[in-house]
Amino acid sequence: MIINMSRKHFLQEKTTTEIMTYNADMREGRPTTRKAPAFGERLSSLRREQGLSQTAFARKAGISRQMVEYYERRSQNPSAEFVRTAAVVLRVSSDQLLGIQPIPKTQPGRKSQVELRLEKVKDLPRGEQQYVVKFLDQVLARYSLT
């Protein structure tokens, strides 16, 4: 028996939660059902520890977000060039990224005087923040650090 139901009719009968199988935080597509390879899991974990989205990591590594997704979810054998690039971006050794050496767990140390003051700058009015940013840009430009 063939049921002839239009898409519009089907959608009217279903609520949003019944149609959407994953939440709005998952912007990078449908969740995978396969387990990621070990390299992909390490890459993803390190990227998230650094506070980088796939897009931000891709920008720093000079590749597309789709390639980051590929390396994290499907790649069994990443290229040596990508491993080197990813290790530099994530500030780990290639051996650590490949799982040959363990990644040491570091304890967060005391914040520097600069970090403490920059946290206070966040509480200033926007105009004052912009003044501080311009000043910092001038100082950093003097030493070619921008």
Buried b (16+ CB within 10 A) or exposed e, 59-78: ebbebeeeebbebbbebeeb
72 falls within a domain: yes
Residue 92: give the domain boundaries: 11-98
- pLDDT, tens digit, for every residue of 43-64? 999 999 888 899 999 999 999 9
Q: Are residues 58 and 126 in the same domain?
A: no
- pLDDT, tens digit, for every residue of 77-115? 899 999 999 999 999 999 999 989 887 776 667 778 888
Q: Are residues 82 and 123 in the same domain?
A: no
Q: Are residues 22 and 90 in the same domain?
A: yes
pTM of this prediction? 0.52
Q: Which residue, 8, 33, 11, is CA-closest to 22? A: 33
